[in-house]
Structure 1
């Protein structure tokens, strides 16, 4: 009797899971809930961008671009989930992949900007030239986008499952690369700041920001890497399909909405009104 109760409860949960997955009403509810959450994050990012621009317009474009891309990525995600049922019916099918994959690429670029920003700070403090950082940032992003475009073209010319799997593996690899970047530069900056004297101006605040954001972003991209990897090889773990709304909700909540919200919250405080010359704007 004792062992049958958990089994019965598990069976009820699985039945509920299947019922929700196959219910058009629940699919629409969950996708619209995701759209609302992404829209909220997008609005917060836009507000933060406007606040930063009015408060410290001379601060350089690295952080402004970060907030702008956050606004853009989450806004596009919101629109995609609002019209997901229509997106899934777009022909040719390659257009569906582009609409669903492009925000993933932009999400990578958005948070790679934070790595760039921290690398600039780290290099400036140690009086290392930062001339190669921005070209390196552009080069890495160009390579990522070029590979993905090549995969899209392959999928367009030869729409087979192997290329879809390869594309998902590529996204998992990109997420792993981003996680390593946060661990490397966020970790370096964090431990460097710990060496500063306690009375250093802004030391405690920046130490907390770097520590929290590094942890959040590392966990975010590692979880994306793991989930996308399983998604590539297990049809039951497939996301961005209409009949897996709960899985979509869990994935995007853990991999994008919560991390983006936490990062925006952590970085909510604006710098004082003063001219900052040690950071190069990102043009």
Structure 2
């Protein structure tokens, strides 16, 4: 029975892997999904701006703007995947494919910074170094990635290209871990507020929303 199921799954996956129609359908479905997430972020940004325009560009507004950009870029990449995969030189294609991952890292580490500041302030801990850490980490990540791109532009090396892919994956995992750490801390801290607190319920819903957004992007 197991052999039969394995054979069916293998045939099904082989059909999808060899079918340009299936691949195009998957890419366009991802394009629509990311476009929807991008649209939600833009709507949130507009709502906040209309509600509190006097506060200028807060961390929350910048986050929604970056979320709009990163998911918009991903939607464009998936929507124009045929053109992306034939870009020359090859490093240009890699830049287009890797850039959303870097923007993803910056976007969600910004949210980690926002929540870390809230958590540290609530615990009467210093917050002056948090922004320095955010800028330093992001600067280092972008510097390393640009060095990889420059090397691949000069010398098209498959090993370095593989290292670049691993680097982008590791960057995304780091962002997710930081998000889980401070998102979880903030969530449990908010649970200590009275159940009838409207602010608490709103923040808890916000935490769940961003958890969902993170793991669907």
Q: Name 1:55's counterpart in structure 2.
A: 51
Q: Name 1:8's counterpart in structure 2.
A: 4
Secondary structure of the corresponding residue to residue 28 of structure 2: helix
C-alpha distance in 1 between matches for 2:161 and 2:171: 15
The alignment status of 1:35 with 2:34, answered yes or no, reads no
Secondary structure of the corresponding residue to residue 202 of structure 1: helix
Q: Would you say the 8 A contact 1:183–1:214 is kept in 2?
A: no
C-alpha distance in 1 between matches for 2:43 and 2:213: 21
Q: Name 2:74's counterpart in structure 1.
A: 77
**Structure 1 pair 147/169, CA: closer, same or farther in 2 (3 Å)?**
same
**Structure 1 pair 217/181, CA: closer, same or farther in 2 (3 Å)?**
farther
Q: Name 2:15's counterpart in structure 1.
A: 19
Q: Name 1:46's counterpart in structure 2.
A: 42
Task: Give me the CA root mean square deviation.
Answer: 2.3
C-alpha distance in 2 between matches for 1:66 and 1:30: 28
For structure 1, which runs of at least 5 residues remain unmatched after alignment?
221-253, 257-283
For structure 2, which runs of at least 5 residues remain unmatched after alignment?
none
Q: Which has the higher helix share?
A: 2
C-alpha distance in 1 between matches for 2:31 and 2:204: 33
The alignment status of 1:65 with 2:100, answered yes or no, reads no
C-alpha distance in 2 between matches for 1:93 and 1:194: 50
Q: Would you say the 8 A contact 2:77–2:84 is kept in 1?
A: yes
Greater relative contact order, per chain length (Cα 8 Å cut-off, separation 6+): 1
Q: Would you say how many aligned residue pairs link Structure 1 and Structure 2? A: 216
C-alpha distance in 1 between matches for 2:144 and 2:83: 27
C-alpha distance in 2 between matches for 1:171 and 1:150: 13
C-alpha distance in 2 between matches for 1:28 and 1:203: 43
**Structure 1 pair 12/93, CA: closer, same or farther in 2 (3 Å)?**
same
Q: Would you say the 8 A contact 1:196–1:203 is kept in 2?
A: yes
Q: Would you say the 8 A contact 1:182–1:214 is kept in 2?
A: no
Q: Name 2:120's counterpart in structure 1.
A: 123
C-alpha distance in 2 between matches for 1:90 and 1:199: 56
Match among 129, 149, 166 for residue 163 of structure 2? 166
TM-score between the two structures when normalised by the length of structure 1: 0.69
TM-score between the two structures when normalised by the length of structure 2: 0.88
Q: Would you say the 8 A contact 2:152–2:160 is kept in 1?
A: yes
C-alpha distance in 2 between matches for 1:94 and 1:46: 31
**Structure 1 pair 113/48, CA: closer, same or farther in 2 (3 Å)?**
same
C-alpha distance in 2 between matches for 1:45 and 1:144: 25
